Every structure is written in structure tokens, then in C-alpha cells.
Structure 1
Amino acid sequence: MKVIQFEDKPLAHYSYAIISGNEMALVDPARDPKPYYQLAEKHNVKIKAVFETHPHADFVSSHLQIHKETGATIYVSKLVGANYPHQGFDDGNSVTIGNTKCSAINSPGHSPDSITVIAVDEENNYAMFSGDTLFIGDVGRPDLREKAGNMKAKREELAGSMYHTIQNKFNHLPDTTIVYPAHGAGSLCGKNMSTDSQSTLGRERKENWAFKNLTEEQFMSHILKDQPFIPSYFGFNVDINKNGATNFESSIAQPEFHFKSEATQDKEALIIDVRNKEQFKENHISGSINIIGETEDDKLETWLGSIVKPEEKFYVVLNSVDDKEDILHRIAKIGYEKQLIGLLTLDDSIFETSEKLHLEDFKKHPDHYTIVDIRNRSEVAEQKFFENAISYPLNELRDKANDIPKDKPIVVHCAGGYRSSAGTSILEKALEGVKVYDLSDDIEQFKD
């Protein structure tokens, strides 16, 4: 058995190929199936199976497209109620891939319909593909299925299920079992994940808090505390994955492209500018929102799906035509390509420039400004940089903008400067006539 791990860095998502003999199985594949096909060609193997550990909330899977294009069988828990061709895969079910036996363990907790896939080869090597149940150093959050999916469940109910899963479901597996999770550090599907991309079950039993000798009440209290915010698109993606996504290539071919455009056509649609903050502040279309998507370290997918609501129409402003394919791919990963009207690069017109904060005046007279902290609530609870700052998390800012006092100029800050550019542009759009400044990376001067 050979396991190949694929990483989608912006979403901290791991997917897998299991190769045994002349056959391959995939686990939790990303939206674009091409890398898996390339791997199958390289090893001259046939894709026989796709395992879906649950209907994912944070990305769109390519399971249905892979089934249609390769004939591979999709294996998923019958509890999902999947609306695509599939084989039920639950406790007691197994399938052989080459010389490797893959079996299912129902492992509710992150969702009521989660499974863990156990692979054992002829040399008795064990691997567990734990989806969003067991992470390295943590377990999956239990609060994402209260409003999405055919099997809605309260967070308290799922937290209790996770306790029993961790306590009872994996006890028969050896310590040498390699743990392959669906996510790593940076994902919003958990809160304290390790940067390690894999582990062993023995190590997790020793080091992961969830395996400690806790009562059910203690376990539930810990897992329910301080979970990250839930982006707008999470429920939307659960529904897409339950039904199966449309073809990736044809979907990203639909949005229009306008080269060196003077303006957008639909005046009611949002304009999302993915250029860096320096380019944006120097010249941008009035009312546009700056969600930076320059590198893999930029969380474009997460913040696009948090700020823009599912099915809300929008345009994207690019720095260059060279960025078009990459940005389209990133938008499609969260299923937002169908609400994307078009992409454009700007012509040489002068649109709008953002005013720069007079930093020394702000330092001397911070009381002359309304300071808006757009970090997550857990970050604010841990440390405030300005005692008189008011807190409005970035994912809530569009809805709460009119609650912000307008009697003073506004200074927006986050933890390092990435989010503050988005927050500033949101308030510039929402609060006409009020000066809004971005503290940007100058926030470093105000940290203890």
C-alpha cells in the first residue's frame, strides 16, 4: 500500500490517493480532479473508488465528477442521504483495492454521518483516513451541522457523540496505525490542530487532549469552548457535496472576462478586488472590497466565503490576466464560481484612492478616532491592543457596519494587516462621508 497526500494550503485541506497493485482509491478529493488523474497515469493504475468521509463544509469535492469520468464507485455513509450514485459504507462494510482491504467505521462527532476509513495491506500495515473526526492534536468541531445537511444535529449532541467515538471506536487499532486527517493547522474545521500532516494513533493516544482521561462533561466543555467562527459558505458547501458538484472545467469556463475594463456592467453586484493592498489603495473601483489573493498564504477562499454570501453575485478585479486561472480555481474550490459574473483587469483610468493614516497624529491622539478591531472574538479575548477599541469581527462587518459610530474618523486594525485591508474597504463602502483608515501592518508598533 502506497499513500500519497495532496495538500491544499489555503484551505489546509489534505486529500489522499491509496495505491495498491494496479488500483487506486481516493479519499476526500478536492474540486479539481486533474492532479489525481495525473498520478494515476504516472503509476499506470485504475481509479476504482472514492471515499467521502462526510459532506464537507469548507470545500467542494470532485467525487461525482471522478465517478462520471472514471467509473469509480463512491463510498459514503448511508446516513448522508447522498443524492448521487454511491455505495453505502458503514460499520461492517469493506472493499478491496488491489491488495489492500478498506473498511468503514462510523465515527460521528464532527457530523452525524462521518466515517473513518481503515486501510490494511497484506503486510498488515494500518492506515486510518479520519476525515474531520481525528486531527493531529485535536478533533473536529461539533457545531457545523445545526443549520446544514439532511441530518441536522445540535452541537451538544455531536460533542457527546465525539466523546464516545474517541473513547470506543478506535480501540482495536494498533498504535502503529498511521493517522491521515482531512485538515491541518489553519483550517476552521477545528481549533488547535498541529502543523504536522500525519501522525500515529499511538502518538495521538499519548499527546492528543481528546484521548486524556476526561469525563464526558469535561470533554464536551473543552470541545465546545472557543470554536472559530462559521463562514457563510459552510452550509452551502455541505449541500453541494451532498448532491455532487457540477463539472469543474465547465463551471469555471462560464464567468466572463474583461481586459482593461473601465467599469463593471452590473452596478448592483459586489466587486471583489484580489490585488495586494498597496495596489488596491492606490487605485480601485469605488465600493470594491479588497480580499487579497496573491499567494497561497492568503486566505482568499475563507474570507471570500465569509464576506460574500452564497449565491450573492460578484465581480473579481485581477492584477493581471496571468492571475485569471489561479483565481478561478480558488473561487471554484468553495463553489462560488456560479455566482461570479466576471473577472476584469483595470484600464489606466483613475478610479478611487484610499487615504493614508497620519500615524503620528493617531499615536498622539487615539481618542480622536473610533478604533475598530476586526479580529475574531477569541483573539480579542486573549489580548486587546487598544483599550477603547470596539470589536466587530470581519465576517460580521458588512452586517454590522451601520452600528459603528460615525462622529469620528475610523481606524481599522486586525492582527497583522491582511484582514484590515478587507475591513477598511467594507467600511469605506458602507459609511459614505466618513473617513476610514487602515492601520495595516503598523499594528506591530502597538503590540506589547
Structure 2
Amino acid sequence: MIIKQFQDKPLAHYSYAILSNKSIALIDPSRDPKPYYYFADEHNAHIVAIFETHPHADFVSGHLQVHKETKATIYCSKLIGADYPHESFDEGDVLTMDEVRFSALHTPGHSPDSISVLAETDKDTPVLFTGDTLFVGDVGRPDLREKAGNKKAKRKELAQAMFSTINNKFNHLPDETIIYPAHGAGSLCGKNMSSDSSSTLGKERTQNWAFKKLTEQEFIDHLLAEQPFIPSYFGYDVDLNKQGAKNIEKEIYNIPFHMNVSRCENQHLVIDTRDEEEFKNGHLSNSINIMARNEDDKIETWLGAIVQPNEKFNLIVDKATNRQEILNRIAKIGYESHIQTIMTLGSFNMIVSSPLEFEHFKNNTDDYTILDIRNKSEVEQNKVFDKALNIPLNDLRDNLDQIPVDKPIVVHCAGGYRSAVGFSILSKNIQETKIFDLSEKIKEFK
């Protein structure tokens, strides 16, 4: 049994290919199936099975496209109520693929329909693919399925289910069992995940807080406390994954593209993915700057947090040769269908932003309204400016009326990426006062 782990860094997502002789099974595949096809070609093997541990909230799975293109069977829990062709795979079910035996454990907690997939052979160490149930150092958050999915559940009910899962479902497995989760540090599907990409059940039993001797109420209280914000797109992706997404190549290639534009032909929102300096030196009206310069810029998360699932938008890229890469990233959350047109900008009729006079601000902070758009937990740990107004970035568009406009407004976050987004949102919506971005200068106040 050969296991290949694939990492999608911006979403902190792990997917897997399990090879046995000339057969391959996939676990929780990403939207774009090409990496799995390359792996199959490399080993002259065929993808015959796809396991979905649950309907994912933070990314769109490519399970349906892989099924259509390879004829591989999709296996998932009957509790999902999946609309795509599949075979149910629930506790007690076993699938044999050459030398590998796959069996299902019903492991609710992150979602009511979660399964973990155990892979065993006669000679290899057991491997458990835990989806969003058990992470390295943490467990999956239980508050994502109150408004989405075929089988809804309240967060407290799922927290109770997670307590039962951790205390009862893995007891028959030895300490050496290898743990492969669907996410690592940086994912919004948990709050305290390790940067390690795998672990063992024995290590988690001794180091993961969830395995400590806690009462059910202590477990629930800890699990529900201080979970990260929930981006707007999460419920949308749960429903999309339950249906099965369309072919990624067909979806992104059908979007119109125009070069060197000076204005939009429609009134929809504009998402400008260029560097913040380029944006401030010239942009279209109605624009929000969500940068996509590299993998560290999490456009997937912030686009899905700021733009609603039913909201159409136009997309600005820095140059034509980068459009496919950015479209592929946006398609990971299923938002490619919202794009009306893709554009590069000309150099005329652009809106130019004024820079902050930093020394004046530094010496006269009371002359400004300071807006801190970090998450509330970040502010509680370290409030940079005593009189700053805190509105987290993901809530900003819905709370613009809370921001005073009697003084110039300076936006800050922790390092500059989010403040560029927040600055552009305010500049788009507030005309009666000057808006400034503190950007990386925030580091001088820490």
C-alpha cells in the first residue's frame, strides 16, 4: 500500500491517493483532479474508488468529475443524502481493493454524516483517514451544519457527538495507527491544529486535548469556545458538495475575458486581485482589493468571506497569463460561476488613493478614527490602539453604518493583507471622509 498526500496550502487541505498494485482510491479529492491523474499515469494505475468523508464546507470536491472521467465509484455515508451517483459506505461496510481493506467508522461531531476511513493490509500499519473529525492536535468544529446540508444539527448536539466519537470510536485501534486528516494549521475547520501533516493515534491519545479525561460538559465547553469565524461560502459549499460540482475546466473556460479595460460594462461588484500598491495607484470604481499574488494570499478564504454566495462580480487580474491560476483558486470554493467577466486594466480613468501621512498619524492618533479589522480573539490578546473601533473584516460590509465619519479613518489589521481589503471596502462605500490604510506600518506599533 502506497499513500500519496496532496496539499492545497491556501486552504490547508489534505487529500490522498492510496495505491495497491494498479488500483487507486482517493480520499476527499480537491476540485481540480489533474494531480490525481498525474499520479495514476506515473504508476500506470487506475482510479477505481473515491471516498468522501462528509460534505465539505471549506472547499469544493472534485469527486463527481473524477467519477465521470474515470468511472470510479464514489463512496459516502447514506446520511449525506447525496444527489450524485454513489454507493453508501457506513459503519460495518468493507471495500476490498486489491490488497487493501477499507472499512468505515461513523464519526459524527464535525458533521452528523462524517465517516472516517480505515485502510488495512496484512503487512502494513493501519491507516485512518479522519476527514474533519480528528486533526493533529485538535478535532473538527461542530458549528458549521446548523444552516446547511441535508442533515442539519445544532452545534451543541454535534459537540456531544464529537465527545462520544473521541471516547468510543477509536478504542479498538492500536497506538501505531497512522492518522491522516483532511486539514492542518490554517484551516477554519478547527481552531488549534498542528502544522504536522500526519500523526499516530498513540500520539494523539497523549497530546491532543480531546483525549484527556474531561467530563462531557468540559469537553463541550472547550470545543465551542473561541471557534474562528464562519465565511459566507461555507453553507454554499456544503450544498454544492452534496450535489456534486460541475467540470472545472468547462466552468472556467466559459468566462468572458477582456484586456486593458477602463470601465465595467455592468454594475456588479469588482474584485481586484492585484497587489495593493497597484490597486491604490489606479483602480475601477466599485472595487474591492483581495490580493492573489501567491499562495500566502488566501484569496479563497477572503473572497468567500466577503462576497455572498448569490453575489455576482467581475474579476481583475494583473496580467492575462495569471488568469487561469487565479480562476482555479476561485473554483476551489465554487465561486467561478459568480464571475461575470475577467479583465486586465488599462492606464486611464482610474481612481487613485491618497497615501497616509504616517508621521502625522503617529503623533496625532486622536485626530483619526482607527478601525481594527482583526478578529475579536486577536484584539482580546493584543489591542494595539486603546480607542480603536473593532469590526472584523468578515463583518465589515454589513456594519459600515457603525463607523463614524467625522474624522479621517485609518484601517489596520495584523500585517497588512486584511487592511488592504478593508481599506478598499471603506473607500468604495464611504465618500464623505478620507480613508487610509496603515498597512505594514502597523508593525511599528506592536
TM-score, scaled relative to structure 1: 0.99
SS in 2 for 1:258: strand
Instruction: For 1:276, give the aligned amino acid.
Output: D
Please tell me the residue identity of whatever aligns with 1:53: T
Partner of 2:26: 26
Q: Is the 8 A contact 1:394 1:423 kept in 2?
A: yes
1:412 is paired with a residue whose SS is: strand
Deviations 1:96-131 (A, max 9, x none): 122000000000000000000000012042101000
What is the distance in 2 between the residues matched to 1:122 and 1:427? 61
Alignment of 1:208-287 (within 5 A): 208-267=208-267, 269-287=268-286
Aligned to 2:382: 383
Work out the CA distance in 1 between the residues paired with 2:388 and 2:97: 57
Mapped to 2, the partners of 1:124 and 1:354 lie a distance apart of 60
> Which residue is 2:328 aligned to?
329
CA shift, 1:287, in A, is 2.5
State the Cα deviation string for residues 404-438 of structure 1 (Å, max 9, x = none).
11101000000000000000000011111210100
Q: Which residue number in structure 2 is paired with residue 316 of structure 1?
A: 315
Instruction: Report the equivalent of 1:81.
Output: 81
What's the counterpart of residue 355 of structure 1?
354
- Counterpart of 1:286 in structure 2: which amino acid? S
| Aligned counterpart, 2:63 | 63
**In structure 1, distance between residues paired with 2:265 and 2:138:** 47
Structure 2 partner of 1:174 = 174
Distance 1:391 1:437 in 2: 16
**Equivalent residue, structure 2, for 1:345:** 344
How big is each residue's C-alpha offset from its partner over 1:43-69, in whole Å with a ceiling of 9 and x where there is no partner?
Answer: 011111000000000000010111111
Q: Distance in 2 between matches of 1:2 and 1:278?
A: 46
Aligned to 2:185: 185
Q: Distance in 2 between matches of 1:142 and 1:170?
A: 19
Distance 1:396 1:266 in 2: 26
8 Å CA contact retained: 2:262, 2:349? no
The offset of 1:143, in angstroms, is 0.2
What value does the CA root-mean-square deviation take over the aligned residues? 0.7
Flag as ranges the 4+ runs of structure 1 deviating above 6 A: none
Map 1:96-175 to 2 at 5 A.
96-175=96-175
Distance in 2 between the 1:168 and 1:205 partners? 13
Post-superposition offset of 1:392 = 0.5
- Aligned counterparts, 1:390-405, within 5 A: 390-405=389-404
Which whole-Å deviations, capped at 9, do the CAs of 1:329-372 have from their partners, x for residues lacking one?
01100000111011111112140111111111111111110000
Q: Using the alignment, how far apart are the partners of 1:124 and 1:292 within structure 2?
A: 44
Q: Distance in 2 between matches of 1:125 and 1:67?
A: 29
C-alpha distance in 1 between matches for 2:143 and 2:354: 40
- Cα deviation, residue 327, structure 1: 0.6
CA contact 1:287–1:425 (8 Å) conserved in 2: no
Matched, 1:15 2:19: no
**Distance (whole Å) between structure 2 residues aligned to residue 344 and residue 434 of structure 1:** 29
Number of the residue aligned with 2:373: 374
Unpaired segments of 5 or more residues in structure 1?
none
Whether the 8 Å CA contact 1:402–1:431 is kept in 2: the answer is no
Instruction: Write the letter of the residue equivalent to 2:412.
Output: H
CA distance in 2: counterparts of 1:80 and 1:278, whole angstroms: 45
The answer as to 2:406 corresponding to 1:407 is: yes
Q: 1:262 Cα deviation (Å)?
A: 1.5
Which residue type is aligned with residue 173 of structure 1?
L
For 1:113 and 1:434, locate their aligned partners in 2 and report how far apart those are by CA, in whole Å. Answer: 50
The CA distance in 2 between the partners of 1:232 and 1:210, in whole Å, is 28
- Give 5+ residue unaligned stretches, structure 2: none
Once the two structures are TM-superposed, the CA of residue 232 in structure 1 deviates from its matched residue by 0.2
The secondary structure found in structure 2 opposite 1:142 is coil
Identity fraction in percent: 59
Q: Could you tell me whether the CA contact under 8 Å between 1:95 and 1:103 is conserved in 2?
A: yes
For the 8 Å contact 1:311–1:336, the answer to whether it is kept is no
* Distance in 1, Cα, partners of 2:112 & 2:314: 36
Whichever residue aligns with residue 265 of structure 1, its letter is: E
Q: d(CA) in 2 for partners of 1:232 and 1:429?
A: 20
Contact 2:118 2:127 (C-alpha < 8 Å) held by counterparts: yes
**Deviations 1:248-275 (Å, cap 9, x if unpaired)?**
11011121100111211112x0100101
Q: What per-residue deviation string (whole Å, max 9, x for no partner) do you get for residues 194-234 of structure 1?
A: 00001111111110000111111110000000000000000
Q: CA–CA distance in 1 between the matches of 2:68 and 2:404?
A: 54
Q: Deviations over 1:307-345 (max 9, x none)?
A: 000021101111111110101101100000111011111
CA distance in 2 between counterparts of 1:443 and 1:363 reads 10
Aligned partners of 1:107 and 1:30: how far apart in 2?
Answer: 22
Deviation string 1:174-202 (CA, Å, 9 cap, x unpaired) is 11111000000000000000000011111
Task: Report SS of the residue matched to 2:422.
Answer: helix
Amino acid across the alignment from 1:319: D
Assess if the C-alpha contact under 8 Å between 1:301 and 1:333 holds in 2. Answer: yes
2: CA distance, partners of 1:438 / 1:431: 14
Aligned partner letter, 2:223: I
**2-structure distance, mates of 1:409, 1:286:** 20
Residue-pair matches, total: 446
Distance of 2:265 and 2:106 partners within structure 1: 50
Question: Which whole-Å CA distance do the structure 1 matches of 2:121 and 2:431 have between them?
Answer: 64
Q: Which moved more, 1:359-368 or 1:23-32?
A: 359-368
Question: Residues 428 and 434 of structure 1 are in contact (CA less than 8 Å); yes or no, is this contact kept in structure 2?
Answer: no
